[in-house]
Amino acid sequence: MLIVIIPLSFVGKVNREFFRAFLRLILPAASFLFFMQAFFQPVGGTVIFKIWFLDITKESLLFAFRNAMRIAVMVSSFTLFLLTTHPSELMSDLTRRGLPGQFAYVIISTLQILPQMQAKAQTIIAAQRSRGLDTQSSFLRRMGSLGPLVGPLVFGSLVEVEERAIAIEARGFTSTQIKTSLYEISDTSLDRTIRWILILLVIITLLLKLWLS
Amino acid sequence: MAIVNLQDVTYKYPLTDSPALQNINLQVQEGEFVAVVGPNGAGKSTLCYTLAGFVPHFFKGELTGIVEILGKESHNSTLSEWVLNVGLAFQNPFNQISGAKYTVFEELAFGLENIGIPRDEMKTRVADAMKLTGISDLAERSPYSLSGGQQQRVALTSILVMQPKVLVLDEPTSQMDPIGTREVFGVVRRMAERGMTVILVEHKVEWIAQFADRVIALKDGQIFLDGTPAEVLTSPLLQENGFGVSRYTSAARKAKAIGLWKKEELPVTLEEAVEGFSRANAGRVV
C-alpha cells in the first residue's frame, strides 16, 4: 500500500509536506508500535534471539510488522487525503455526485464552527471568571463551576442555530432549483485512470486475501 | 400598485399572549426607501420576519390579515420561492455567515449556488456586489477572520448579490463606525434609486433623515406614525413615547422653548440645524 501512496503524493504535488508528516509522525509512531509489539506479544513459536528476559519470536516479529504497516498505511493515506483535498471542493463534488446539500452542509459547517465554539467557550470562561467564578482551585470546586460555563455555551449555541437557519434560508438554502457550484471540479483522464487503477488494486488485494487464506 | 401590501396584519408568537404585531396596514411602492424606527420590543424585527416570509413559514404562531408582495400572498407560497423576491439581512453578522465557506468570495456565492445561477454569471454578480459595498479587498479572506463591521458588510452583500426585488434590513449597521454606516446608507439609497424597494430598521435617525423617503414609527406592535422623515422624526410625540430622537432635534426644541429657534419646523440633521441656528442669529452681533 505504501508503494501506491508515495507515488500518488508526487502526482498530487504535495510530496514535500507528505514526507515531512511521514518522517515526523507516521514513521516514529509505527516504529514504536513495531518494537513494543515485537517484544511483548506473547505469541509462541520459533525463538530467533533473546534479550534479557524478552523473547523475539518469528511470529511476534511478523505480527508487529503487519500492525505497524497497517497504522502507517492508514495514517498516511488519510494524510494524503487531507493534504490534497480542500473541504469545500470535496463537498461541491460530493453534492454534484448526488449527496444531499443538507448533509454536505452539516459536515462542512461543523468543521468551521468547532473552532468558533472553542473561542466562545474561552470568552464565557473569561467573563465568568471576571465575575468571580472559581476555575483554578480544588477539583470539586471546579466541577461546580462547570455549570455556569456549559449552560451559556449550550443555550447560546441553540439560539445561534436558529439565527443561522434563518440566514441560510434567506439565501435560498432549501430552494428546489438544481444547485450550481462556484468551482468547476476538473475530472481529468489522469484522475479517472488513477481511480480505476486504485479500485482494481483493492479488488486484487481482496481476491488475493481470500485466495491465500 | 404597491409592491408590498400588508392589510390588517396581526401576529402572535407561539406561547405568548400579546400580539407582536397588531393591525398593521402598510403599502410600499416600488423603489421606495422606508425606514422603521421604534423602541426595543416594538415589533420591528417581527415586521422584518413577516415581510421576509419567516413569519409564518419559520416561526409558528398565529398570523391573520394579508401579507402580499408582488401580488402574491406569503401563506400561498413556500419560503424558498419567497426569498427569491425578498432578501433579509439582520443584525448579528456572525450568525449570518453560512459556516460552509472558506473565503468571502465563496460565502457570497453561496446563495447563488443555492438558487442555481450559472457559474459565469455568479462570478460577475459577486464581483459587482463586492465593488458596490466596497469589500473587494476582502475576497480571499476567511469570513470568520473579519471584524464585526466587515462581517456586517459581507452579510449585506450576500443578500444584495441575490438581487431581490424587496430588501429587508434589520439594523444592518449596528456594528459599524460612522464612516461605514454612511457608506452602507449610500449603497442602500443607490439600490433604491435602481428600483429596489428597501425596508430598513435602524436607530440612527440622523442617517434616516438624510437617506430615507419615508419613516414608520412602530410602538407596541402598531404603526404609530407614518410619513416623511421630516414629519415623523421631528414629531413631539416621538420623545414622549420613548423613541430615539436626533440630538439636533432635541437641541432645537429646547432652543425654541426659549426663543432661540425661529423656524416653525425642527431640524433632524446637522446641516438643517446649522442653517436654522445661523438664520436665527443673523444680524445679531455675537
Share the mean pLDDT of chain B. 91
Looking at the structure, tell me whether residues B231 and B276 fall in a common domain.
Answer: no
Question: Do residues A29 and A59 lie in contact, with contact meaning Cβ atoms separated by under 8 Å?
Answer: no
Could you give the ipTM of this predicted complex?
Answer: 0.84
> Which of A101, A112, A172 lies closest to B115 in CB terms?
A172
SS3 B217: strand
Looking at the structure, tell me whether residues B193 and B227 fall in a common domain.
Answer: yes
Q: Tell me the mean pLDDT in the region B145-168.
A: 93
Contacts by B277-282, CB closer than 8 A, 24 or more apart:
B277/B252, B280/B255
Looking at the structure, tell me whether residues B145 and B272 fall in a common domain.
Answer: no
Pairing assessment for the beta strands B62-69 and B72-73 based on DSSP bridges: antiparallel
What's the gap in Å between the CA of A200 and the closest CA on chain B?
34
The grid coordinates listed for B264 are 416653525
Q: What is the DSSP string of B7-50?
A: EEEEEE-TT-SS-SEEEEEEEE-TT-EEEEE--TTSSHHHHHHH
Looking at this protein, which amino acid is placed at residue B157? T
Looking at the structure, tell me whether residues B94 and B201 fall in a common domain.
Answer: yes
Q: Give the number of other CB atoms < 10 A from CB of residue B275.
A: 13
The helix or strand, by DSSP H or E, that contains position A142, with its residue range, turns out to be helix A139-144
The least confident of A73-87, B19-33, B124-138 is A73-87
Q: Tell me the mean pLDDT in the region B17-34.
A: 94
The helix or strand, by DSSP H or E, that contains position A128, with its residue range, turns out to be helix A101-130
Look at residue B29 and tell me whether its pLDDT is greater than 90. yes
Looking at the structure, tell me whether residues B20 and B133 fall in a common domain.
Answer: yes
The grid coordinates listed for B193 are 434609486
SS3 B167: strand
CB contact under 8 A, B54 and A116: no
> Which of B80, B89, B99 lies closest to A172 in CB terms?
B80
Q: What is the CA radius of gyration of chain B?
A: 20
Specify the pLDDT at position B21.
95
The least confident of A184-193, B157-166, B183-192, B204-213 is A184-193
Domain residue ranges of chain A, discontinuous segments joined by +: 2-84, 93-170, 188-213
**What CA–CA distances, in Å, run from A131 to A102, A119, A135, A138, A148?**
40, 19, 11, 18, 11
Looking at the structure, tell me whether residues B120 and B237 fall in a common domain.
Answer: yes
Domains contained in chain B, number? 2
Looking at the structure, tell me whether residues B108 and B144 fall in a common domain.
Answer: yes
Question: Do residues A179 and A91 lie in contact, with contact meaning Cβ atoms separated by under 8 Å?
Answer: no
Q: Give the number of other CB atoms < 10 A from CB of residue A118.
A: 10
Of the residues A123, A169, A176, A183, the best mutation for testing chain B's interface (the one with the most B CB atoms within 10 Å of its CB) is A169
Sign of CA dihedral B47, A159, A128, B91: negative
Specify the pLDDT at position A9.
58
Looking at the structure, tell me whether residues B144 and B48 fall in a common domain.
Answer: yes
Q: How far apart are CA A120 and CA A131, in angstroms?
A: 17
Looking at the structure, tell me whether residues B266 and B203 fall in a common domain.
Answer: no
Of the residues B94, B115, B117, the best mutation for testing chain A's interface (the one with the most A CB atoms within 10 Å of its CB) is B115
**Residue ranges of chain A with per-residue pLDDT less than 50:** none
Listed in sequence order, the residues at least 6 apart from A120 whose beta carbon sits closer than 8 Å to its beta carbon are: A153, A156, A157
- HSE value, Cβ hemisphere, 13 Å, CA-based, for A165: 11
Look at residue B236 and tell me whether its pLDDT is greater than 80. yes
Look at residue B120 and tell me whether its pLDDT is greater than 90. yes
Q: Which of A159, A127, A170, A114 is nearest to B115 (CA)?
A: A170
Looking at the structure, tell me whether residues B240 and B273 fall in a common domain.
Answer: no
Q: To the nearest 10°, report the CA torsion of B236, B242, B245, B247.
A: 110
From chain B, which residues contact A within 8 Å (Cβ)? 49, 52, 54, 58, 79-80, 83-84, 87-90, 92, 94-102, 105-106, 109-119, 122-123, 144, 155, 158-159, 162
Of the residues B90, B92, B95, B170, the best mutation for testing chain A's interface (the one with the most A CB atoms within 10 Å of its CB) is B95
What's the gap in Å between the CA of A12 and the closest CA on chain B?
21
Query: What burial class does residue B67 get, using C-beta atoms within 10 Å of its C-beta: 0-12 exposed, 13-18 middle, 19+ buried?
Result: buried
CB contact under 8 A, B113 and A113: no
Listed in sequence order, the residues at least 6 apart from A113 whose beta carbon sits closer than 8 Å to its beta carbon are: B99
Q: How far apart are CA B279 and CA B265, in angstroms?
A: 13
Looking at this protein, which amino acid is placed at residue A123? T
Q: How far apart are CA B217 and CA B233, in angstroms?
A: 9
Q: Give the Cα-Cα-Cα angle A107, A111, A116 (nearest 5 degrees).
A: 135
Looking at the structure, tell me whether residues B34 and B163 fall in a common domain.
Answer: yes
Q: How far apart are CA B37 and CA B146, in angstroms?
A: 28
Domain enclosing residue B258, as ranges: 246-286
Question: Do residues B245 and B239 lie in contact, with contact meaning Cβ atoms separated by under 8 Å?
Answer: yes
> Which of B83, B100, B112 lies closest to A169 in CB terms?
B83
Tens of pLDDT along B45-100? 999 999 999 989 999 889 999 999 999 999 898 998 999 999 999 888 888 998 88
Specify the pLDDT at position A13.
56
Tens of pLDDT along A34-50? 777 777 766 666 666 66
Pairing assessment for the beta strands A54-57 and A47-51 based on DSSP bridges: antiparallel
CB contact under 8 A, B119 and A87: no
Looking at the structure, tell me whether residues B27 and B155 fall in a common domain.
Answer: yes
Looking at this protein, which amino acid is placed at residue B93? P
Tens of pLDDT along A68-102? 777 777 787 777 777 777 777 777 777 777 777 78
Sign of CA dihedral A76, A79, A84, A88: positive
